[in-house]
C-alpha cells in the first residue's frame, strides 16, 4: 500500500531535517511491503522550515512539501495535508506525526502491522502499559494531559481508548474521507479528539500501540493546553449530548415516564373499582410493564426489536424480572430513607432511587440482556479496559 507520513511543521527547521533522515535511512529500508512517502505541511514558518525541506526533496523522491500558507492551526494543516495526500499523491494509509521527534519514528512499523491486521485507525497511546509521558514535564502540563484524557474518556463513556489527545496515528484514507467534512473547524487537541471520536462513532476499527513520548530538545511547543481546554470540553460535552439524544436513552426515559403515568392512572382506576390499593397498584404496575416493553421494543430499541412471537414469549418474562429488580431497588431505598430520615423523606428517596439506581440499572439491563445492544461494544470494551 502507499503510505504517506504527514508531518505538520511550524518553525521546526532543526527537527524536521533530523526526522526526515531517520525515517529515510533507519525506518523505511526495513519496511518491505509498503511504499513509504513523507508529506511535510508547513504554514510559512518564519524560520524557513520549508526551504530545508525543499532542499531535501532533491535528495529524496518520496519526500513532498505542501506550502499551506497562513498558520491556521494543526487541524487545518492536517485536513489540507490529508486531502493532498489522497488526491495528489494517491495515499491509501496516512500517518499523523509531530516534527519535533517526540514521536519515535522507529514505531512506524508497529502501526503498519496493525493496519495490515485490518484495523482502520491506529492510535499511539502514552497512557496504557508500555507507554509513557516525559518525567520532566512540569506538573501543570502533566495534569492537563492526564486529567484532560480522563475527562474525555469519562464524558464520551469510551474507556477502552487510552489516549485521546495524542497525535501519533495511522489511518486508512476511508476514515478521513468519511469524516473530513466534520473536521474542518477544530484546532489543537480538539482536532485529535474529534477525529478519533467520530471514527469510533462510525464503527471504524481502532487499535492502540503504546508509545513513549519524549520531550522536544529543539524549538518551542506551539500548542498550549490551556488555550484548548475550553474548546475541548465544549466539544466533548456537546458530542455526548447529541449522542444521548440520538441514542435510545432519551426515548427510553420518555417511555419510562409515560409508564409511570400509566401506573398512577391504573392505581386510581382500579382503586375506584373497589380493589385494595396494593392490588390496584400492582395491576397498574403490570400495565406499565407491558407498555414499557412494547414501546421500548418498537421505539426506543427499534433497531434491535424483537419480532419473533416465540422470542417475545421468552423475553417478556425476562423483562418482568428486570422490572421486579427495579421494584426491589425502590423499596430497599425507601426503607433505608425511612430508617434514617422517617416517612417524610419518601418522595425524595423515590427520586433518588429512580434517578441514581433504577435508571442506570434498568437501562443497562435492557441494553445488555433484553435487546443486547451493548453485547459487542460495551462488554468487549470493558474487557479491553480491564485487560
Ligand atoms: N503546519 C502547522 N503545524 C503546526 C501548527 N501548530 C503546531 N504544529 C506542528 O504540530 C506538531 C506538534 O506541535 P507541538 O508544538 O510540538 O505540540 P506539543 O507537542 O503538544 O507541545 C509539531 O510538528 C508542530 O510544528 C500549525 O498551526 N501549523
Ligand atoms: Mg511537541
Average pLDDT across each block of 10 residues of the chain; the chain has 387 residues. List them in order.
97 96 97 97 96 97 94 92 97 98 97 98 94 89 88 90 95 97 88 96 94 92 81 93 88 95 93 92 94 97 94 96 94 93 89 92 94 70 57
**Confidence (pLDDT) at 246:** 85
Is residue 143 located within the same domain as residue 122? yes
**Confidence (pLDDT) at 138:** 87
Closest ligand 1 atom to residue 99 Cα is: 23
**139: CA distance to ligand 2 center in Å?**
17
**Confidence (pLDDT) at 382:** 62
Q: Which helix (H) or strand (E) element contains residue 125? A: strand 121-125
Q: Which of 47, 65, 74, 140 for mutating ligand 1's site (highest number of atoms within 8 Å of CB)?
A: 74
Separation of CA 280 from chain center: 46
**292: CA distance to ligand 1 center in Å?**
52
**Confidence (pLDDT) at 307:** 95
Is residue 164 located within the same domain as residue 293? no
Is residue 30 located within the same domain as residue 103? yes
pTM for the full predicted model: 0.78
Name residues contacting ligand 1 (CB within 6 A).
Answer: 8-10, 12, 41-43, 68, 71, 73-74, 77, 98-100, 102, 216, 221-223
Is residue 165 located within the same domain as residue 281? no
DSSP conformation class of 10 = S
* Count of the separate structural domains present in the chain: 2
- Per the structure, the complete domain to which residue 168 belongs is given by 2-243
C-alpha span between 276 and 266 (Å, rounded): 12
Do residues 334 and 314 touch, judged by C-beta distance below 8 A? no
Residues ≥6 apart with Cβ < 8 Å to 381: 158, 159, 160
Question: Which residue has its alpha carbon closest to ligand 1 atom 21?
Answer: 221
**Confidence (pLDDT) at 60:** 97
**163: CA distance to ligand 2 center in Å?**
15
- Taking each helix axis from N to C end, the angle separating 188-201 and 225-246, rounded to the nearest 10 degrees, works out to 20
Q: Which of 291, 307, 316 has its CA nearest to residue 370?
A: 316
**Confidence (pLDDT) at 347:** 86
Is residue 121 located within the same domain as residue 203? yes
**Confidence (pLDDT) at 384:** 57
Domain final position from 190, 214, 243: 243
**72: CA distance to ligand 1 center in Å?**
11
Domain final position from 214, 243, 272: 243
**68: CA distance to ligand 1 center in Å?**
14
Do residues 255 and 295 touch, judged by C-beta distance below 8 A? yes
Is residue 189 located within the same domain as residue 125? yes
Amino acid at each position: 500500500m502507499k503510505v504517506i507520513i504527514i508531518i505538520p511543521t511550524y518553525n521546526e527547521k532543526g527537527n524536521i531535517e533530523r526526522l526526515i533522515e531517520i525515517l529515510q535511512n533507519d525506518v523505511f529500508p526495513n519496511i518491505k511491503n509498503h511504499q513509504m512517502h513523507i508529506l511535510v505541511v508547513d504554514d510559512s514558518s518564519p524560520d524557513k522550515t520549508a526551504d530545508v525541506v525543499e532542499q531535501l526533496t532533491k535528495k529524496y523522491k518520496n519526500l513532498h512539501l505542501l506550502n499551506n500558507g497562513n498558520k491556521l492551526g494543526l487541524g487545518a494543516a492536517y485536513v489540507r495535508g490529508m486531502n493532498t495526500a489522497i488526491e495528489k499523491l494517491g495515499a491509501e494509509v496516512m500517518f499523523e506525526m509531530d516534527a519535533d521527534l517526540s514521536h519515535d519514528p522507529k514505531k512506524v512499523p508497529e502501526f503498519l502491522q496493525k493496519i495490515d491486521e485490518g484495523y482502520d485507525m491506529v492510535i499511539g497511546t502514552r497512557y496504557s502499559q508500555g507507554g509513557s509521558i516525559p518525567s520532566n514535564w512540569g506538573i501543570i502540563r502533566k495534569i492537563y494531559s492526564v486529567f484532560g484524557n480522563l475527562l474525555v474518556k469519562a464524558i464520551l463513556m469510551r474507556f477502552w481508548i487510552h489516549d485521546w489527545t495524542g497525535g501519533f496515528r495511522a489511518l486508512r484514507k476511508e476514515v478521513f474521507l468519511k469524516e473530513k467534512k466534520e473536521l474542518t473547524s477544530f484546532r489543537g487537541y480538539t482536532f485529535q479528539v474529534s477525529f478519533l471520536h467520530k471514527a469510533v462513532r462510525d464503527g471504524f476499527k481502532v487499535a492502540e500501540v503504546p508509545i513513549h513520548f519524549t520531550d522536544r530538545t529543539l524549538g518551542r511547543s506551539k500548542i498550549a493546553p490551556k488555550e484548548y481546554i475550553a474548546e475541548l470540553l465544549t466539544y466533548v460535552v456537546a458530542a455526548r449530548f447529541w449522542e444521548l439524544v440520538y441514542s435510545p436513552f432519551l426515548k427510553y426515559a420518555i417511555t419510562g415516564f409515560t409508564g409511570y403515568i400509566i401506573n398512577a392512572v391504573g392505581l386510581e382506576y382500579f382503586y375506584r373499582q373497589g380493589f385494595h390499593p396494593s392490588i390496584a397498584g400492582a395491576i397498574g404496575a403490570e400495565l406499565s410493564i407491558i407498555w414499557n416493553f412494547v414501546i421500548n421494543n418498537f421505539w426506543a430499541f427499534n433497531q434491535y426489536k424483537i419480532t419473533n412471537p416465540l422470542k417475545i414469549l421468552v423475553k417478556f418474562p425476562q423483562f418482568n424480572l428486570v422490572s421486579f429488580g427495579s421494584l426491589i431497588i425502590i423499596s430497599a431505598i425507601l426503607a433505608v430513607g425511612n430508617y434514617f430520615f422517617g416517612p417524610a423523606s419518601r418522595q425524595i428517596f423515590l427520586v433518588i432511587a429512580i434517578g441514581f439506581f433504577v435508571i442506570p440499572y434498568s437501562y443497562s439491563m435492557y441494553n445488555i440482556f433484553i435487546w443486547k445492544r451493548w453485547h459487542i461494544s460495551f462488554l468487549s470494551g470493558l474487557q479491553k479496559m480491564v485487560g
